Structure 1
Amino acid sequence: RLAVWTMTSLVCVCPHEVTVKQSDLKQCDDRRVCVTDLRDCDRRRTASTQETLNVSCQYHQSAESLTCGWSLHPEGHAEPAVSFIFSSELVIYSCPGIFNPLSLLTVTARIKDYATGREVWSRPWTFLLYDAAKPSRPVLSLLRSTEDSVVVSWRGGDGVCRLRYRVEGAPTWTEAPESVAAHEDETLTYTIKDLLVSTTYRAAVACTEESGIQSDWSAEVSGRTLDRAPSRPPEVCYRVEKRDSGSLLLHLMWKDLDLRDAGGRILGYRVTYETKQQPRRRVQNVTAVTALLVVEEGNCSVAVAAFNSAGYGPAARLAIDPRRRSGLPPVRHLWVSSSFPTAKGLLVQWENPSVPPSVPPVTHLAVQWRSGTPPSNGCRGNEDDGNESLFQDADPEESYLISVLPVYGQRCGPPQSLPASLQQGALMEAVQLKVVGVTKTSVSVAWVWQKKSGPIRVQRYRVKLRKDSESHTLSLWPDQRQLTFLNLTPNTEYSLLLLADDSSRNVVPVRTDFDEGPAVAAATPLLLLAAVVSIVSILTRTVYKSYFFPHICSPRGSDTGRWLMDPNHQKTADRRVLDLEAFQVTRVLGEKSLIVVRP
């Protein structure tokens, strides 16, 4: 049967290897020949089919096998058939016993490429198995570790040994800069230097003896460098919040130290604080990157120091005046979206705050997430200088409370928080859209944010105001409860839509107010013309009456005329029509005389 086919590389021109076990060999009629395929006993090779393939073999004494390799230019992608012919100048009594250190064998390889149908025979190669014996595999062991080095040892034969190492989980190896000379039965030690602190490494060694054949790489050993006490204090910021009871809540927050400064895995943080009213120092150990302290009115001092298995690092010290509670602007328009299962992460996005000149600039933004399922697993976080962050360690079965807050030097801005999960993204939805104000050119709408009622993933919410081809769209954010559409057409019917992605959740009709301006503008000339006509008519009538028509006295202008025109006279004994005394005039001398009226 054919030998087992193995390839050590996939490049176009590469060494191929086949391992032949003694049990694979069969004896031909010629007692000096053993083959892996009985059909090779009767085949005859020609000079035209012979090629120099650089065949070489390594003898594995413990496994009683040979590994033979050669270089070949394959013309096709199909796997070729390979068989071997082993011959000796002496009679072979048992093919399964020819693999021993004293055997002198000649090996020929026959390779057939099924893709091209071409058959190639290698030139015979004669070798002594003792000279081709592969060195035994070294046994590597770990001796000790320091903060930046690992010491290993092994036993080797005569020759040279090479050592390689890598960070656990890394795909590539790093070879030690120098080789180690080995002697028979000598225990060798080697120190791998310049390593990262508190990091696990894996190492292996291989030895090459005088024959030039290299042993297999040893089994990998694992070693971890020791921790070193943290070399830097954490960067701490604070925020003061007043309680109804009159006491103050002091929120402390800091970011994790990087590996170089942390000196290893941080086990926790020691928070110490004291006030003028209570000078006795109080200590609190926390494992998260936040701490919450209840303090009284008055200045206080706080120190935060990280610690690991090697000890405590330097402390960050803050002198805090709780009376300084001036507002700092938070981030705006926080939203969390998910593309699970395409991408196993939560994308947190926000809009950076607009900082007035009186407020110090934002140094960085902190993103924190806390498990929403009790018991909480604590708070974790990282920092970001942009307007988005990717949370990649989310559990599909877990919900989280994600917070983003700006940091102004040593002061923390107020956080913006949003619940989210990997399967649904943000766990908030906009509902109850309604119109709260209408003018001639604007419409104000309001809505309510509530916990998501169903397993629906929404990347964003929008509200659209449309009429035929006219459309106005605004995005909704959890920090908003109301917005206004501007520059609308007066006295126009619109449709107000609440959109979850591109799906409409709610439709509300609305009409803008009537605009009196055009009507007044159109009526004003007519009113002015009517007023002018009225004034001209009155003036004309007055002029005509004064100059062209004599004045006619009206009987109703006197008592006598009204009496004469009254049809219902009272019948009295005294029937004087005219009172002559009324017609008497007084002279200058005081005497009265009648005025005589003649026709």
Structure 2
Amino acid sequence: MLVDIVKPHPPDFLVEFDDSSATSCSLSWHHEAQAQHYRLRYRPLSSSTWSTVEIFSREKYHLQGLEPDTAYEFQVSCRILPGRGLWSDWSSTQSQTPAAVPAGILDVWYRQQDLGPGHQNLSLFWKALSRSEAGGRILGYTVTLEALGQGKLPAQSHRTSQTSFSRVTPRVALRVTVTAQGPRGSSRPAAILILPGSPGKAPAAPAFPGSCSASRSGFCPLRSSLWIFGSAFPSGSFQCLGPALPALGISL
């Protein structure tokens, strides 16, 4: 039959992204021959592997599961009837998914170095978010230092493009937050409370459920779901305590 040897022209199609989602898009097409069988394939431009979907008797398809802030190539082909006839050549277009608000929270470590009476060098380090946690590109990071207690100074915010930060600070209790900035917004803050210690001596450290201690060159790792307390411990030791602000008589 004629339908078995007809090769349609490639369909014209349009890719549209919804601002409310960085991982989905809608594709719509129109074909004068009113084809009933379509196939869609797509891939990130950084990959040579295609994902393929077959679509019947529709001229619109909602595609999910894309990576945010990623350039894709989309291709559509058609034939007149399902299971019969020749496939058209592929029509092709390229487009980029929008960025998303970062969903992850940074893992942060810190180190304190005593500089003499009243001052310390505070160094912070963090692991970059994965691309899926970051929602695309990370443009930079914001570190906020806030001194606590009587006569405390206003909070100071600092921007950096690095995954580390160092600052000389007074040896006082500090609330520190670190956030990652993307094109669509900021991650939730990773927050730590750093307690001052006397030179060469750690402050009293009461036992709390979930507390831990070890030796690791003065670093204290922060899991972002916890408040962590640290100080300049002697002999390269560090100590991490669970959420216990009220027990230490400190309120934020």
TM-score (structure 1 length as normaliser): 0.32
Q: Does 1:151 align with 2:151?
A: no
Note the C-alpha offset of 1:131: 6.2
Return closer, same or farther for 1:153/1:325 CA change in 2, 3 Å cut-off. farther
RMSD: 3.1
Q: Does 1:248 align with 2:125?
A: no
- Kindly indicate whether the alpha-carbon contact (under 8 Å) linking 2:41 and 2:51 is maintained by their aligned counterparts in 1: yes
1:163–1:247 CA distance, 2 compared to 1 (3 A) = same
Look up the match of 2:157: 283
Cα distance in 2 for residues equivalent to 1:305 and 1:151: 32
Tell me the equivalent position of 1:409: 221
Q: Which residue of 2 aligns with 1:179?
A: 55
Alignment length (residue pairs): 208
> Which residue number in structure 2 is paired with residue 82 of structure 1?
none
Tell me the SS of whatever aligns to 1:191: strand
Deviations 1:185-244 (A, max 9, x none): xxx33221122223322210100114611101112x222222222223211111122347
Instruction: Give the C-alpha shift of residue 275 in structure 1.
Output: 1.2
The CA distance in 1 between the partners of 2:9 and 2:200, in whole Å, is 74
Equivalence for 2:194: 320
- Shift of the 407–138 alpha-carbon distance from structure 1 to 2, 3 Å rule, reads farther
| Residue matched to 2:214 | 360
Deviations 1:552-579 (A, max 9, x none): xxxxxxxxxxxxxxxxxxxxxxxxxxxx
What does residue range 123-522 of structure 1 map to in structure 2 within 5 Å? 132-145=5-18, 146-156=21-31, 157-159=33-35, 160-176=37-53, 178-181=54-57, 188-210=59-81, 212-219=85-92, 221-243=93-115, 247-276=119-148, 277-323=151-197, 360=214, 407-410=219-222
Task: Give the drift of 1:285.
Answer: 1.5
Question: Quick one: which amino acid aligns to residue 47 of structure 2?
Answer: A
Q: Hey, what's the Cα distance between the residues in 2 that align with 1:244 and 1:290?
A: 23
Counterparts of 1:206 and 1:233 in 2: how far apart (Å)? 42
Distance 1:409 1:143, change over 3 A: closer
**Counterparts in 2 of 1:249 and 1:206: CA distance versus 1, 3 Å:** same
Q: CA deviation at 1:407?
A: 4.8
1:32-69 deviation digits (Å, cap 9, x = unpaired): xxxxxxxxxxxxxxxxxxxxxxxxxxxxxxxxxxxxxx
Larger RCO (alpha carbons 8 Å, 6+ apart) = 2
Secondary structure class of the residue paired with 1:226: coil
TM-score, with structure 2 as normaliser: 0.71
Q: 1:320 to 1:131 in 2, by over 3 A?
A: closer
Q: CA deviation at 1:252?
A: 0.9
- For the Cα contact (< 8 Å) 1:202–1:222, is it kept in 2? yes
Q: Which amino acid aligns with 1:284?
A: H
Contact map agreement 1:152 1:189 (CA 8 A) in 2: yes
Q: Check the 8 A contact 1:234/1:257 in 2, yes or no.
A: yes
Which whole-Å CA distance do the structure 1 matches of 2:123 and 2:157 have between them?
Answer: 15
Query: Which of structures 1 and 2 has the bigger CA Rg?
Result: 1
Amino acid in the other structure paired with 1:147: A
More helix by proportion, 1 or 2?
1
Q: Distance in 1 between matches of 2:124 and 2:221?
A: 13
Identical columns (%): 27
Counterpart Cα distance in 2 of 1:258 and 1:150: 22
Using the alignment, how far apart are the partners of 1:409 and 1:326 within structure 2? 21
Cross-structure match for 1:378: none
Report what 1:375 is aligned to.
Answer: none
Question: Where does residue 204 of structure 2 map in the other structure?
Answer: none
Q: Is the Cα contact below 8 Å between 1:135 and 1:213 reproduced in 2?
A: yes
Query: Relative to 1, partners in 2 of residues 1:222 and 1:361: Cα closer, same or farther, differing over 3 Å?
Result: farther
